[in-house]
Structure 1
Amino acid sequence: MHSCSTSGTGRQRHTDCFGVFRSDDHRVVNQFASIGESYKEGTALPVQQDAGGHCYPVGVAPTAGRLAGLFACVVALVAGLSALCGAFSTVMPRLGGRIGAALWSPGAGRMLRRLLTVCGIGFALSGLVGVIGWLAMP
């Protein structure tokens, strides 16, 4: 990275760092590549460049972080579905009971419990790998 610039204020604040992108085979060199994160000057990072010249971090830490986010989204989706069923049961007990019986049958409950267990374990492991990878990054 050669330099970083911050634009905007408050929640609209965004930092872009600029530097040289050099492909693994050294055939492609972009003197003005940018990445949307802040790094110290002189930092070398493994990145992938898109057609517009913007770079995205690659490697263990970013991939594990994205995977942890995916697992967290599945858990949040199930929690939202449970809250929706609970709201229907509170407001309209008969309809809520029918919806609950349809969605939470014993077989579906066992499958959902297994899914949540796998997602919880996946979230924990991906998060741990992501944190370790992030700490190991320069």
Structure 2
Amino acid sequence: MVVVVGKDMTTGRFARTFAYINLDDINDASPNFEIEENEEVRTKVSSFARGSKHKRENIQESVNDENIQLMTKQLGEIASAIKKINEDKIIPSHLFGEVMSIERFDEESLSNTFDYLMEHKQQAKAFLAKTKNLKKTKLEKFIQS
């Protein structure tokens, strides 16, 4: 009996093959091995390979779990940053439309108000959050000052 062991380079695993070959023609004086010894050796080799493989799989799973946890944390941080950017962002075309939609004011005054609000983001956010009547009141105070 011959044991052939080879490493599969694509998967990184070892393959074992047991085969019987006829050696009677080659060497008649070969020593006799007892079957029990061969089985004992084979059992030790196969149990060692299984244990080693199991340990490698556990280590690999542990590394994969750590990588997944790290990526999850980083994706959460990215999502939070994007959300904060979007909350802080004022869309100029939307602000311009809101300012220009207020009646009783000339276009130049509304344009100056828009320019002021674009320079002062906090004031622009507050302006966008107000109702139509409050926006008119705010514009009156701004234009009079």
TM-score normalized by the length of structure 2: 0.28
Ranked by relative contact order (alpha carbons within 8 Å, sequence separation 6 or more), the top structure is: 1
**Would you tell me which structure has more helix in proportion to its own residues?**
2
TM-score normalized by the length of structure 1: 0.30
